[in-house]
Structure 1
Amino acid sequence: IVTVLAKYENQINVFSEFLEDIPDTDEPVWILGAYYNVKTGNMTSAVFQFMLMLYLWAVGGTGPSSDTGWGCMLRCGQMILAQALVCRHLGRDWRRVADGTQPVEYQRILHCFLDRKDSCYSIHQMAQMGVGEGKSFGEWYGPNTVAQVLKKLALFDDWNSLAVYVSMDNTVVIEDISTSGQRQVPFPFSHSTSRSQQPLDWRPLLLLIPLRMGINNINPIYIQALKECFKMPQSCGVLGGKPNLAYYFIGFIDDELIYLDPHTTQSAVDSEMGTAVDDQSYHCQRNPRRMKITSLDPSVALGFFCKSEEDFDSWCNLVQQEILKKRNLRMFELVEKHPSHWPPFVPPTKPEVQTTGAGGSNVLNIT
C-alpha cells in the first residue's frame, strides 16, 4: 500500500484538506453507494477510492464563448451522465490511473463531452435540445429540464446504447420501463415463483427521478430517505443545489452532503476523434465540498444506474425495503402498472432534427 500511495501522492494531497476537515464523528462516509469508515477504518483507502473516480468538471465556458452564469446545471448533468457511462463501459470499480495508459472506452467517453458541436453530449447539444423544453439558449436549467434533455440526447447515441428513463409525478413505473424495451419479466415484487424465459432486451439504464421535497427548503422528513439513496450500489449521485447554483452531490457524512461544484470556468478542451484527450480538467482538481442537508434546495433529481436486469431488480427491492416500507411520507413511489388516470405512455423517440456541420457531423438542429 505504501508503494501505491507514493505513486498517487499528488492526488492524495488534493484531498488531504478535505479529510482533515471531516468532523470527529463515528458516522461513515457514503459516496455513490460505497461505504468508508473514516475514523476507525482505513481513511487513506477512502481517499484512494474516490479521488480517482471520473467526475466531469466545467471545461469551458457564456453565450458563444463561455457557459459562465448559466451552464452549471448542464455541467452537473454531464457529470451524472459521465458517471453512468463509466459504470456502463468500465465498471463501478474502475479507477483512473494518473499519468497512465487509459482504456479506449475511457477516451471515447471523454469525446462524448468535448465542448464542440459534434460531440453528442456537449454543452452545445444540451443547450440546443433544451430549446425543445422551452429553454432559450443561455437560460439557466433546473434538474428536471436537464433530465429531459439527457433522455432525448441519449436517443441519438448508438455507441453507448443507454436508456434514460425520467420519472413523472414522483413515480417510477415498472411497466413503462418495460414498454421502453427494457425488460420483459414479471415485476420483481410479485409472488411468481418462476421468471419469464423469453429473451430480454435490456439496455443499461440511467434512471432519473426529479423531485420536489418541500416548498422553500427540504422537508426534514425526507432526509433519511435521501441518505438511503446514496447508500444504494446503483447510486449515480443527485442533481441539485441552491437557487441558481447547481451542484453534483455524490454522498454524505452525518448531516452534511458531499458535492462537486462546477463553478470553475476553464479553457475549453478540444480534440479530434481518434486522438487522446487531455483529461486534466475532466477531474476535480480541488477538494469536494460539504453543505448541511437542510440547506439543500428542495428541487433535485436522483440518479441511479442499472447495468443489468438483475441490477434493476436489486434496486427495486432496496427501494421497497428502505424507502417505501419505512416511510409514512414517501419521497417517491415505485409502482408496477401505469396509472389509469395518466395519459398513455409513449416510448421516447428521436425528435425531428436536421444534421448539419462540416463533413456531415451529427449536429442537432431541432425543427
Structure 2
Amino acid sequence: MLILAKYENQINVFSEFLEDLPDTDDPVWILGESYNVKTGKSALLSDVRSRLWFTYRKKFSPIGGTGPSADTGWGCMLRCGQMILAQALICSHLGRKWRWESESLQPAAYRRILHCFLDRKDSCYSIHQMAQMGVGEGKSVGEWYGPNTVAQVLRKLALFDDWSSLAVYVSMDNTVVIEDIKKQCHQKVRSSRCVWGEAEPPPSGETLSSGHTLTDNSEQRQAPSPISHSLHSLDWKPLLLLIPLRMGINNINPIYIQALKECFKMPQSCGVLGGKPNLAYYFIGFIDDELIYLDPHTTQCAVDSETDLRVEDQTFIGFFCKSEEDFDTWCNQVQQEILKKRNLRMFELVEKHPSHWPPFIPPTKPEVQTTGAEFIESTDKLFESEEEFEILSV
C-alpha cells in the first residue's frame, strides 16, 4: 500500500491510495524521477507499481527451525530494509527506467531478484537470513530491529551475493568518507552469472513477496532465457550507500525538510528507512509537504515455492551508484544542493578518512562457504543505540 504522510513523526495519513493524489501543479518526485499529476499520472502509477513492496508474512518455515513462522509485529523494519535493497538491485540489474508490466513475461534478472527475497532459509535476503544475521548485532530473532541493525545486516549479507557484487557502505557518525567508499568499491569484482539450475527456469506462476506474479506462458516453457552476465564495471562494485540521520526528536526539524527533498530529487536516490520506534516505513518520494511511502504493515501468507507452484524518529537515507562516475556526480550534487545551501547539515561529506578514526578495512566474505547467517558475528558495531539515528539511503 502506498501512502502519503505529513513531514512529522506521527505519520498522519493523507491518502491511502496514489490515485487520490491532490489536483496540483506541484511535481511528484519518486526516487529521482519527476511527474506532473495532471499530465503524467499513468507514468507515475507505472513507476510506483514497479517498486517492490514487501510486507509482513505468515506461515513460512520457522526461522532457525524452532523460531517464529510469522513476522507480524516485529519485522516491519526488516521488510523496509528488503525494499531499499531490492530497489538497489533493480537499478543495478535492470536500470531505473525499467517498468513492471502485468501482462508481460518479466526479465530473468527480475525473477532472480524476487527469488532472493523469498521467505525461506536459503534465499539470500530472506527474513530468515536477516533475522539470524541480526543475532550477531545483539538482536534476538523475533525482536524488533532498528534501522542501524538492518543496515549492518544488509552490509554483511551482500558479501554472499556474488551475482550482484553489491558494496553496501554504512556511513559512520553521519559522515560519508569518499576515500573509504572508493577503497571498498574498487575491490576485485568477481565475475558471475546467475542461474537457477542447469536447464530449469524458476517456477511459473509464482507469486512472491513483492506481490508481483510470474505468469505462465508457452514461450517460457519452450525456451527459458538465461540470465545475462553482469554488466558491472570490472573495477567498481555498484554501491548502496546508507547514511544515518538525526533530524529531530519528536518531529523532523523544519530546517532539514528542503535538504531531504533534494535527496529525493537525485537520480541516485534509493529511498529512506524511517518512521517511529516499532513502526517502520519505506519512503520513496514526496509531493509538496507530504512524503510518499510504502507500508509493510499488511500480513500476507508466505509463498512455499516447493509445493505451491506459485511462488520514527529514526531514519536512514540511501543512494545507489552503479559506477564511479555516478558516485562522483552524487558527491558534486551533495556539495552544491545540500552542504553549501544549508546552515545545519543532515550529514557530512569528506574526502579523506579522519585521522582519529580506526583504519578503514573493506568488508570481505569469510572463507567458510555458507549462506552467511550461521557464521558471521558482529565485531564492528558502528552505533551504540538504535534510538539515536535516522537512516538515509542512497
What TM-score range do you get, normalising by the shorter chain?
0.7 to 0.9
In structure 2, what is the equivalent of residue 119 of structure 1? 123
Letter in 2 for 1:262: P
Query: For residues 178-257 of structure 1, what are the structure 2 equivalents within 5 Å?
Result: 178-182=182-186, 201-257=235-291
CA–CA distance in structure 2, aligned partners of residues 351 and 277 of structure 1:
34
Letter in 1 for 2:141: F
CA–CA distance in structure 2, aligned partners of residues 94 and 276 of structure 1:
26
Query: For residues 352-367 of structure 1, what are the structure 2 equivalents within 5 Å?
Result: 355=370, 362=371, 364-366=373-375
* 8 A Cα contact 2:54 2:79, kept in partner: yes
RMSD: 2.5
* 8 A Cα contact 2:56 2:70, kept in partner: no
Query: For residues 301-312 of structure 1, what are the structure 2 equivalents within 5 Å?
Result: 301-312=316-327
Letter in 2 for 1:304: F
* 8 A Cα contact 1:203 1:308, kept in partner: yes
In structure 1, what is the equivalent of residue 354 of structure 2? 339
1:260-286 Cα deviation digits (max 9, x unpaired): 1101111111325xx9864xxxxxxxx
CA–CA distance in structure 2, aligned partners of residues 35 and 25 of structure 1:
14
Deviation at 1:37, TM superposition (A): 1.4
Q: Name the SS for the 1:180 alignment partner.
A: helix
Q: Name the SS for the 1:322 alignment partner.
A: helix
CA–CA distance in structure 2, aligned partners of residues 17 and 365 of structure 1:
40
Letter in 1 for 2:79: R
In structure 2, what is the equivalent of residue 47 of structure 1? 45
CA–CA distance in structure 2, aligned partners of residues 351 and 219 of structure 1:
42
In structure 1, what is the equivalent of residue 392 of structure 2? none
Deviation at 1:180, TM superposition (A): 1.4
Deviation at 1:85, TM superposition (A): 0.5
CA–CA distance in structure 1, aligned partners of residues 246 and 76 of structure 2:
19
Q: Which of the pair is proportionally richer in helix?
A: 1
In structure 1, what is the equivalent of residue 138 of structure 2? 134
In structure 2, what is the equivalent of residue 81 of structure 1? 85
Deviation at 1:99, TM superposition (A): 3.2
TM score, norm. by length of structure 2: 0.74
In structure 1, what is the equivalent of residue 152 of structure 2? 148
CA–CA distance in structure 1, aligned partners of residues 367 and 283 of structure 2:
34
In structure 1, what is the equivalent of residue 344 of structure 2? 329
CA–CA distance in structure 2, aligned partners of residues 276 and 347 of structure 1:
40
Q: Name the SS for the 1:107 alignment partner.
A: helix
Residue 304 of structure 2 is aligned with which of 253, 270, 279?
Answer: 270
In structure 1, what is the equivalent of residue 386 of structure 2? none
1:190-211 Cα deviation digits (max 9, x unpaired): xxxxxxxxx9720111111111
* 8 A Cα contact 1:204 1:308, kept in partner: yes
Deviation at 1:51, TM superposition (A): 2.3
Q: Name the SS for the 1:80 alignment partner.
A: helix
Identity across matched positions, percent: 77
Deviation at 1:353, TM superposition (A): 6.3
In structure 1, what is the equivalent of residue 26 of structure 2? 27
* 8 A Cα contact 1:55 1:83, kept in partner: no
Label 1:324 to 1:116 Cα distance change in 2 as closer, same or farther (>3 A): same
Deviation at 1:21, TM superposition (A): 2.8
Label 1:181 to 1:51 Cα distance change in 2 as closer, same or farther (>3 A): closer
Label 1:276 to 1:162 Cα distance change in 2 as closer, same or farther (>3 A): farther
CA–CA distance in structure 2, aligned partners of residues 118 and 266 of structure 1:
20
Label 1:17 to 1:213 Cα distance change in 2 as closer, same or farther (>3 A): closer
In structure 1, what is the equivalent of residue 218 of structure 2? none
* 8 A Cα contact 2:56 2:72, kept in partner: no
Letter in 2 for 1:42: G
Deviation at 1:343, TM superposition (A): 1.4
* 8 A Cα contact 1:118 1:363, kept in partner: no
Q: Name the SS for the 1:93 alignment partner.
A: coil
In structure 2, what is the equivalent of residue 261 of structure 1? 295
Label 1:338 to 1:29 Cα distance change in 2 as closer, same or farther (>3 A): same
CA–CA distance in structure 2, aligned partners of residues 154 and 183 of structure 1:
14
Q: Name the SS for the 2:334 alignment partner.
A: helix
CA–CA distance in structure 2, aligned partners of residues 117 and 48 of structure 1:
32
* 8 A Cα contact 2:57 2:72, kept in partner: no
Query: When the two structures are aligned, how many residues end up with a matched partner?
Result: 312
Deviation at 1:351, TM superposition (A): 5.5
* 8 A Cα contact 2:146 2:277, kept in partner: no
Deviation at 1:179, TM superposition (A): 2.0
CA–CA distance in structure 2, aligned partners of residues 277 and 112 of structure 1:
15
Deviation at 1:20, TM superposition (A): 4.9
Deviation at 1:247, TM superposition (A): 0.5
Q: Name the SS for the 2:240 alignment partner.
A: strand
Letter in 1 for 2:89: L
In structure 1, what is the equivalent of residue 98 of structure 2? 94
1:122-170 Cα deviation digits (max 9, x unpaired): 0111011111111111111111211111000001111111110000000
